[in-house]
Amino acid sequence: MTAGTVAAARSRLGYMLARDALMPWRTARQNVEFGMELRGVGKSERLRNAERLMDMMKLGPYMDHYPGQLSQGQRQRVALARTWAISPEVLLMDEPFSALDAQTREVLQNEFLDIWMRGKKSIIFVTHDLNEAVTLADRIIGFPKGRSCSSSKCC
């Protein structure tokens, strides 16, 4: 695989960690703008996209708040908006709701489904929570004993 192939693939992927990984010195809006900034999107377009996504995530009133001023659920929604802002073809999500309490997790799962229905992106969602998998997935692949498998017998 060449460097050009890797760069092309990377530009089509979005990745969301289990923890929000927000930059504490940036406001919520500035965190959402970050990926677009790296991709060279102009300031007015970044601002417009960030505001639209934050409104969609019900974070409009918190745009100018810093991560330390937000609840964990709000921080996760900012992280999701930041990932969604780069408009990836494929979204990779590594247990993005695992650090949340049960009530906040359920609210965010429902909001996530609403947002997904609008954009219909392909998403690979890693979770250890079977209920979450059943709620959010149209296809589930299990790895027994925490190992990946190469044959169709184990999956």
- The per-residue pLDDT for range 35-87, each reduced to its tens digit, is 999 989 999 999 999 999 998 888 999 999 999 999 988 998 899 889 888 88
Domains of the chain, start order: 3-146 (3.40.50.300)
- The per-residue pLDDT for range 4-36, each reduced to its tens digit, is 665 666 667 888 887 888 999 999 999 999 999
Q: What does 23-77 look like in DSSP terms, one character per residue?
A: -TTS-HHHHHHHHHHHTT--HHHHHHHHHHHHHHTT-GGGTT--GGGS-HHHHHH
In which band, very low, low, confident or very high, does the pLDDT at 103 lie, cut at 50, 70 and 90?
confident
Give the 3-state secondary structure of residue 120.
Answer: coil
